Structure 1
Amino acid sequence: MTKRSMTSPRTTAQPAVATTGSRSAPRLVQVNDRLWRVTRQTGEILGYVESFDSPAGDRYRAKRYILRARRFDVLGEFWRIDDATDALRFG
């Protein structure tokens, strides 16, 4: 599992919107207070971003669902929701 860390230990998640200005930017759809579904513009689900508390502040975990194995594959834990979303987009 690859982990990235950023310099900013605290971020606040934003509502369901594309995270960058690019046309191909994924969309975040808030499922509950701590979970977002990440989709392509076409509606294809890329995975989920889950927020969780850590001793150093809020963190974001990128998870992709592996259909044939019926499980989630954790791609990493990040300080910023945009970084977790990019892990799903490019990972």
Structure 2
Amino acid sequence: MTTLTFTPDSIPGALATAPSVREQRGGLTLVQLHDGLIRVTRPSGEVLGYVESYQHAEGERFRAKRFLPRQRRFIEIGEFWSRNDATDCFRFA
């Protein structure tokens, strides 16, 4: 029996989509879950929400959704033309 072990370093292009890819931005931690979804958390691990990308007739758009833990639901904060703008709204909202 042969066991193959893959790491993000061994697969070309995998680093951008690996679930363990983390980025620190403006006091927030961004975790790439898959191609179109980023989880936004505080450094403590508290989930603030998600940024999802989708295709619009005029190009790629980003939708920010805030998580409300007491109500166990998401509310849409807004739609943006850049991922940076979408993640910044979690810092100021």
Whether TM-score is above 0.5 comes out as yes
**Matching residue's letter, 1:33:** D
**Aligned match of 2:86 in 81, 84, 87?**
84
**Residues 1:18 and 2:21 are matched in the alignment:** no
RMSD: 2.0
| CA deviations over 1:14-71 (Å, ceiling 9, x no partner) | 9531234xxxx21110111100000111211111000010011111100012233332
Contact 2:47 2:67 (8 Å CA) reproduced:
no
Contact 1:19 1:82 (8 Å CA) reproduced:
no
Structure of larger gyration radius:
2
Per residue, is there more strand in 1 or in 2? 2
Contact 2:61 2:81 (8 Å CA) reproduced:
yes
**Residues 1:54 and 2:20 are matched in the alignment:** no
**Matching residue's letter, 2:33:** V
Q: Percent identity?
A: 51
Q: Which runs of 5+ in 2 are unaligned?
A: 1-15
| Count of equivalent residues | 75
Other structure's SS at 1:18 match: strand
What is the rounded CA distance, in whole Å, between the counterparts of 1:42 and 1:69 in structure 2? Answer: 21
Q: Which runs of 5+ in 1 are unaligned?
A: 1-12
What is the rounded CA distance, in whole Å, between the counterparts of 2:78 and 2:67 in structure 1? Answer: 14
1:3 equivalent in structure 2 = none
1:75 equivalent in structure 2 = 77
Runs of 4 or more, structure 1, over 4 Å off, are: none
